[in-house]
Amino acid sequence: MTSDYLEKRRRNRIKKELRLHKPYLMGALLDQEVDRVLGIADSGRMDWAMARPTQILDHASADDVTPEEVRATAKEFGIRPYQLYWLFLQKVNKFKASGREKHNYLAVLRECAVSTIKKELTGDEKVTAALLFGQFASVSITRQEAERLLAEGEL
């Protein structure tokens, strides 16, 4: 917070000095000159993109989330992994359908875990979720086995 304030203050002081020496500069041209003086834009092409700090995340796509992370998050929140994965897939599909992207899908998984606590799946949804999670976790399971395991309460 303090660093943002100091950066803005420094920028405004330089802008004020530039207005005194070059009164013909206004608007975008003034901002470009301030950037040049601050050393942000030397070449005049796309240097503003380098001024922003880039953050590299481990979970930049939905495919980066592993079954172990789904299980660990489900255990942390006290829910079933297949239910969590089912709601996570629905959320990811909504993002893809709307054209949006997230940059940290592990955070999306944790958000889904919170909403999974409140949501109860129907019988068909549970079976489908169990089949999808089995496919995701590389465990071969048939629909009949999934129905049997759900009926016995083993899943």
User: Would you place residue 72 in the very low, low, confident or very high pLDDT band (cuts 50, 70, 90)?
Assistant: very high
Record the pTM. 0.60
In this predicted structure, the answer to whether residue 47 has a pLDDT above a threshold of 50 is no
pLDDT of residue 1: 58
Domain layout of the chain by residue ranges: 2-51, 62-152
pLDDT of residue 14: 87
Which structure tokens are listed for 49? 């993109």
User: Would you place residue 55 in the very low, low, confident or very high pLDDT band (cuts 50, 70, 90)?
Assistant: low
In this predicted structure, the answer to whether residue 50 has a pLDDT above a threshold of 60 is no
CA distance 147 to 77: 24
Are the beta carbons of 115 and 100 closer than 8 angstroms?
no
First to last CA, the chain: 48
Residue that wins the pLDDT comparison between 51 and 31? 31
Lowest mean pLDDT among 3-12, 17-26, 86-95: 3-12
pLDDT of residue 41: 53
CA distance 131 to 140: 8
Are the beta carbons of 129 and 121 closer than 8 angstroms?
yes
What's the mean pLDDT in 79-88?
90
pLDDT of residue 98: 79
pLDDT of residue 56: 56
